[in-house]
Amino acid sequence: MSSPSIIIHGAGIAGLVLAQSLLRRGISFHLYESASRDVFDKRHDYGIDLLPLAFRKLGDLMKIERSAFVKRVAVNWECEGDGCLEALDSSHLLRVNRNKLEQLLAQDLPDSVLRFNSENGETTDTPTIGDEIVVAADGVHSSVRKRLLPHSIPAIQPFTVFRGSKRVDSNSFDQDFAPYFKSQTRLERQLGNELLRIDLTGSLRQSKYMGITYTYSRPVRDENDPLFKPDRATWDATQLGMKFKGVVEEIRSHTKLDGAFEKIFNVERIDRDGDRLLHWLMRSILVDKAELKKVAREQKVLFIGDAAHHQPILASRGANLAVEDALDLAEFLDSGKMTHRLDELTLEDYYDPRFDVWTQDRREAQSRIEQLHGGAASSGGSL
């Protein structure tokens, strides 16, 4: 390989898929990740939905046959049986553990190209902008975006959201939860415009514990809603998370919960199991296309994944878009490599087909959020 001419910031889904795709095309790059290797190895232990197109493309990229891919990354504890693999031949979503997916994508990237923070004394916080093409794949809080497009700030959607997580041992899981999940990994219940959701995050066949995450969400009631804190600091997420217990008590005062919902949305069990509770904000952003193109033209910086477009977590298809953004970008960059003139590529052209997809995703996410909350309308921005 020749000396690196592409710098990628962020080894999340978009950055890793781009790196894998460039590696396989023989295009040199460096990928910088702000987390340490240790943090990277342990984080993101939860499920995300991959659409059939994305997991087929990932399997092709990693040259892994479908059933082997499912066994490596699927959340569903029953998915390792043949029945589930057969089901995946149709148009089903595949629920994957994000940590396992990212580990798979990082596994054969050489240390010389994937640089974690605190290694080699390098810091990845300040993007290098010089002769190289820079790809900002550094997520919704993108520091590249903050620096180059400081006016592009995510909006906070008017929803109150809490998220809890717990781990249960296999006996408790079999006894308390397994009968309700069967071959599913997600349970949902709508109570008017309130949504309760329970997700499995792991595989009992691979570990002695089952991870369970759960969320509560509803549209903001009015401008004095005490649980809507769009300006809260990041570190307040845990403190405010404790208010979830009051929400649970309120729900139980007017609704008789049953099954897994009775066991999860239960303050006594939350305390007994030491669940981690967080207050979540529903951020959304779609960076202006003209601004993206200007930065591509003038500074050779391209944005992909959540750094360019992000929809609220509850209705997100962001992982799927991140995969496609990265694969399309690798193909686009490859067209420059064929002529041996990456520098002659008109970088801003990358956005023409992608931006339409991002715009459509924003519309669809909005409608999914409304459906999930009993058709509740949202203003699409902050109150």
Cβ(210)–Cβ(173) below 8 Å = yes
| Window 20 to 39, contacts with ligand FAD (CB under 6 A) | 32-35
Residue 156 is given by DSSP the state E
Q: Could you tell me the smallest distance in angstroms from the CB atom of residue 21 to ligand FAD? A: 13
Alpha-carbon span 49 to 323, nearest angstrom: 12
Cβ(301)–Cβ(134) below 8 Å = yes
Q: Which is nearer to ligand FAD, 56 or 252 (CB)?
A: 56
Q: Which is nearer to ligand FAD, 165 or 203 (CB)?
A: 165
Residues 6+ apart with CB under 8 A from 142: 10, 136, 303, 306, 307
Q: Which is nearer to ligand FAD, 186 or 243 (CB)?
A: 186
9 touches ligand FAD (CB under 6 A): yes
Q: Could you tell me the smallest distance in angstroms from the CB atom of residue 132 to ligand FAD? A: 15
Residues 6+ apart with CB under 8 A from 237: 278, 279, 280
46 touches ligand FAD (CB under 6 A): yes
Q: What angle is formed at CA 151 by the lines to CA 145 and CA 154, rounded to 5 degrees?
A: 75
Three-state secondary structure call for residue 34: coil
Q: Which of 57, 167, 283, 317 binds ligand FAD (CB under 6 A)?
A: 317
Alpha-carbon span 241 to 299, nearest angstrom: 41
Cβ(49)–Cβ(93) below 8 Å = yes
| Window 319 to 338, contacts with ligand FAD (CB under 6 A) | 319-320, 322
Q: Which of 5, 101, 134, 138 binds ligand FAD (CB under 6 A)?
A: 138
Alpha-carbon span 42 to 311, nearest angstrom: 24
Q: Which is nearer to ligand FAD, 33 or 275 (CB)?
A: 33
Q: Which stretch binds ligand FAD (CB under 6 A): 4-12, 80-88, 243-251, 341-349?
A: 4-12
Q: Which is nearer to ligand FAD, 32 or 214 (CB)?
A: 32
Q: Which is nearer to ligand FAD, 8 or 27 (CB)?
A: 8
Q: Could you tell me the smallest distance in angstroms from the CB atom of residue 49 to ligand FAD? A: 4
313 touches ligand FAD (CB under 6 A): yes
Distance of CA 107 to the CA centre of its chain: 19
Alpha-carbon span 309 to 322, nearest angstrom: 10
10 touches ligand FAD (CB under 6 A): yes
**At which residue do the structure tokens 């149709």 appear?**
90
15 touches ligand FAD (CB under 6 A): yes
101 touches ligand FAD (CB under 6 A): no
Encoded tokens for 21: 């795709």
Q: Could you tell me the smallest distance in angstroms from the CB atom of residue 40 to ligand FAD? A: 7
Alpha-carbon span 50 to 62, nearest angstrom: 15
Q: Could you tell me the smallest distance in angstroms from the CB atom of residue 74 to ligand FAD? A: 13
Encoded tokens for 56: 């087929």
125 touches ligand FAD (CB under 6 A): yes
Q: How many residues make contact with ligand FAD (CB under 6 A)?
A: 30
Alpha-carbon span 244 to 267, nearest angstrom: 9
Alpha-carbon span 190 to 225, nearest angstrom: 20
Q: Which residues bind ligand FAD (CB under 6 A)?
A: 9-15, 32-35, 46, 48-49, 124-125, 137-139, 143, 305-307, 313, 316-320, 322
